[in-house]
Amino acid sequence: MTKSKLTLEDRNIIGEKLDAIGMHLSEFSYPNLYLFRKTHEYETISTPHGYFVSGVTYDKKRYLMPMTNPEKSGEDCFIEMKELLVSGDWDFVFPIPEEWLECFRDDEFDRTYSSDDSDYLFFTEKFKTYPGKKMHKKKNQLNQFLRNYETLLIPLTEEVLEDALGILDLWQETSSQEMSTSDYNQCKEGLEMRQVLGLTGAMAFADGKPAGFLLGEPLNNDTFTIHFAKADISFKGIYQFLFSRFACDFCPDYEYLNLEQDLGNEGLRKTKISYRPDLIAHKYRIYLKK
């Protein structure tokens, strides 16, 4: 077994493995892993028959993240994964989607999940127009923004990078989270390394002034994940505009938008639920039975 800290040099091998998996969960993304490498202490684990990412959860538990679909990996790889758990260096395998659960036999494994970890997925079409009574308030906020301002959403290029960084600084200044616990640093690095990491960004302007931005990437052929969404909330309706126009202009062919997890943050949870998620994707922790 070889172990090393996750670096930019791993992006090709991890990217290829994640592309082969085609997972809709937000952790199955090399940019996500790289940007949060310090937060989760990510390392790569290479064994004779397998390849894993090792990480630390927000509640300080160590886990193994498989880089191969267990349904398609060989028996030797699965045996190695169990041996790693037996070693006691890791607490569980994570994040395991519901469709992989049948690979982990009930007589060998226990499973749990926390709603704090679960991703919120939405039909992209919903964000385009905010249809129906349940989305009426969102549509009103979008229409208010469109009435009050001359609007523009353009690709996040080097020419508007400073505008995006200014929005990020403003967001942090008005956030209830300290910089040490917010995703400020990860978002800043993502903005600055967006081309290297293959991220897609969009910058919004209202009456010619920077108003907000989104930064994300495709997870697979039908799901686009938004890693970061930051805005100046003095522009009423800016987030509704960002999501709607981004869905229309930047990812119209994806069935789902993944807005990731809420990490137990009550404000984030209320905001994401207010958009009426179409799918809550749980992430299971798989333990060896004792």
Q: What pLDDT, on a 0 to 100 scale, did the predictor assign at position 76?
A: 85
- For residues 217-241, give the mean pLDDT: 97
Maximum average pLDDT range among 58-62, 207-211, 262-266? 207-211
Lowest mean pLDDT among 1-5, 40-44, 185-189: 1-5
Q: Going along the chain, which residue ranges are E strands? A: 2-5, 43-46, 51-56, 62-66, 92-96, 109-113, 119-123, 151-155, 200-206, 209-218, 223-231, 256-258, 279-281, 284-288
pLDDT in tens, 94-139: 999 999 999 999 999 999 999 999 999 999 999 999 999 999 999 9
Nearest to 80 by CA among 44, 42, 46: 46
Structural domains of the chain ordered from first start? 2-118+284-288 (3.40.630.30), 120-260 (3.40.630.30)
pLDDT in tens, 140-171: 999 999 999 999 999 999 999 999 999 999 99
| Cα torsion 238, 230, 215, 284: sign | negative
Q: What is the C-alpha to C-alpha distance for residues 47 and 25, in angstroms, rounded to an integer?
A: 24
pLDDT in tens, 198-220: 999 999 999 999 999 999 999 99
